[in-house]
Chain A
Amino acid sequence: MKYIDEFNDPALARRLLDEIRATATRPWALMEVCGGQTHSIIRHGIDQLLPEQVELIHGPGCPVCVTPLDVIDKALEIAARPDVIFCSFGDMLRVPGTDRDLFRVKSEGGDVRVVYSPLDALELARRNPARQVVFFAIGFETTAPANAMAVHQARRLGLANFSLLVSHVRVPPAIDAIMSAPACRVQGFLAAGHVCSVMGTAEYPELADRHRVPVVVTGFEPLDILEGIRRAVHRLERGEHRVDNAYARAVRDEGNPAARRMIEEVFEVTDRNWRGIGLIPASGWRLGEAFRDHDAEHRFDVADIRTEEPAVCRAGEVLQGLIKPTECEAFGGACTPRTPLGATMVSSEGACAAYYLYRRMSGSPAPRGARIPQEEMNPVG
């Protein structure tokens, strides 16, 4: 068992697809929350293999894309300082702030470094005691234990030159916000497997009950995703709204208690702006009081940077499947993968980016995954 090849088997994928086809008797709109799942869906062409009745709406689950504009602007300001080594995951460098991105800051002489792990940034702080080392701590619950450990270690090792610029987001409040929107079309959720590997499943039954939607904890390989869809459709057809765990090999109900303890020790819940979406209450984490002296926002006095996001694009509506990307005036003109306006175009798996590519390919309709709401589909709830 290597846990990858086995879950890519085409013959088993066909069985799951047949089963989904046989089960779905009417249209259902499911949202996969996690960008990693969206990546896998596009990468393997799963969206095109599903029966007509099952529509996938790509959710706001890319932490890079939802990091709010003012935090990016803070990052840019800090990264440009001559005393700073600014460390980030690679996918953050291309995301535009108000007037530039981290690549641009680097080209202007900023010391911006791509790291694989927050511990690599910590190591840079140890080796460069005369410099300030700042790590851009973004991510969902999956990444929080790693970032928490980095700052915890910095405290233990007395590395006062290490700080975090934190923009952590949490999934359950986002699901809650999406389901609370009046025009919401989402009828079932594929919850993010690796988030649940850390946090467990305890937060979901209440959400499923309150919004009357099935939630299926889902993995990332093709068979995992198909199984998540199969179970969600099964619940929907039966009119049930339960929580299922279709990723049991990596998700225990209680999550990872050691990781959760570390998160609780280091972070505290806060409200958070999501780029393109707006403020979602209690949807983020920031450094707790005890670790506030490792908070880059305070250390570099950028806490006051506030940026209004001009209303140009309609990514929020696309994210919910309320409009198709081509209905946005900016699509394909002002907004392309090369010059993205919003989250759904920044990420190569975003609905707008996928739509853009396929439109170029065929001159016509988009892939099913980036597909438009169909008139005859009646949102539930």
Chain B
Amino acid sequence: MCLAVPGKVVSIDHSADPLTGLIDFGGVQKQACLEYVPEVRVGEYVIVHVGFALQRLDEESARASLELFEQLGLLDEEFGDAWEQAARQESGSEVR
């Protein structure tokens, strides 16, 4: 369900109604409605579904995830208890 892909905001047409921008998907450009991410800026990434940007992508979260994955094996090898370490890492992302 819900094929949605990340793309980079190339330009924003503030006069368009609804608010519209040009999104670059790795060399492929398509217009998308930005009405649901009005605060987005050129250069930021959004997730796009059927021509609508649904959410801005948070680079810091993405990096944190990748760093966590990087450390999984290493923690196992070097520190033994990977779960304690990993749990500490991810505690901020638990929902409640």
- Check if B55 sits within 8 Å of A117, measured CB to CB: no
A192: chain B residues at CB < 8 Å are 1-2
Residues of chain A from 6 to 59 with CB closer than 8 A to chain B in the complex:
6-7, 9, 12, 14-16, 18-19, 22-23, 34-36
Q: Which residues of chain B (17-75) have a CB below 8 Å from chain A?
A: 18, 26, 33, 35-38, 45, 47, 49-52, 54-55, 57-59, 61-66, 69-70, 72-73
A75 within 8 A of partner (CB):
no
Instruction: Let me know if A250 and B47 touch, CB within 8 A.
Output: yes
B70-A12 in contact (CB<8A): yes
- Among A149, A205, A243, the residue within 8 A (CB) of B18 is A149
Instruction: Say yes or no: is A4 at the interface (Cβ < 8 Å to chain B).
Output: yes
In the complex, are the beta carbons of A3 and B1 less than 8 A apart?
A: no
The distance in angstroms between the C-alpha atoms of A244 and B89, with both chains bound, is: 13
A116:B95 contact, CB within 8 angstroms: no
Q: Does A201 contact B (CB under 8 A)?
A: yes
Could you tell me the distance between the alpha carbons of A251 and B36 in the complex, rounded to whole angstroms? Answer: 14
A197:B47 contact, CB within 8 angstroms = yes
Q: Which of A171-226 contact B (CB under 8 A)?
A: 192, 194-195, 197-198, 201, 204-205, 217, 220, 223
A342 within 8 A of B: no
- Contact partners of A246 in chain B: CB under 8 A: 65, 93
Q: Does A248 belong to the interface (CB within 8 Å)?
A: yes
Contact A245 B2 (CB under 8 A): no
Establish whether residues B1 and A35, one from each chain, have CB atoms under 8 Å apart when the complex forms: yes
In the assembled complex, which residues on chain A have CB atoms less than 8 Å from the CB atom of B13? none
Which residues of chain B come closer than 8 Å to A3, judged between CB atoms? 6, 45, 57, 62
Contacts of B6 in A (CB 8 A): 2-4
What mask results when residues 72 to 96 of chain B are scored 1 for a CB within 8 Å of chain A, else 0?
Answer: 1100100000110001001001111
Q: What are 17 A-B residue pairs whose CB atoms fall within 8 Å in the complex?
A: A15-B69, A15-B72, A19-B72, A19-B76, A19-B82, A35-B2, A61-B1, A62-B1, A63-B2, A118-B51, A194-B4, A194-B47, A223-B66, A234-B83, A248-B58, A249-B61, A250-B55
Interface residues of B (CB under 8 A from A): 1-6, 18, 26, 33, 35-38, 45, 47, 49-52, 54-55, 57-59, 61-66, 69-70, 72-73, 76, 82-83, 87, 90, 93-96
Which 8 interchain pairs have the tightest Cβ spacing?
A: A117-B51, A142-B2, A3-B6, A248-B61, A249-B61, A243-B95, A15-B73, A249-B62
**Residues of A at under 8 Å CB distance from B?**
1-4, 6-7, 9, 12, 14-16, 18-19, 22-23, 34-36, 61-63, 89, 116-120, 139-140, 142-143, 145-146, 149, 153, 192, 194-195, 197-198, 201, 204-205, 217, 220, 223, 227, 231, 234, 242-246, 248-253, 256, 258-259, 262
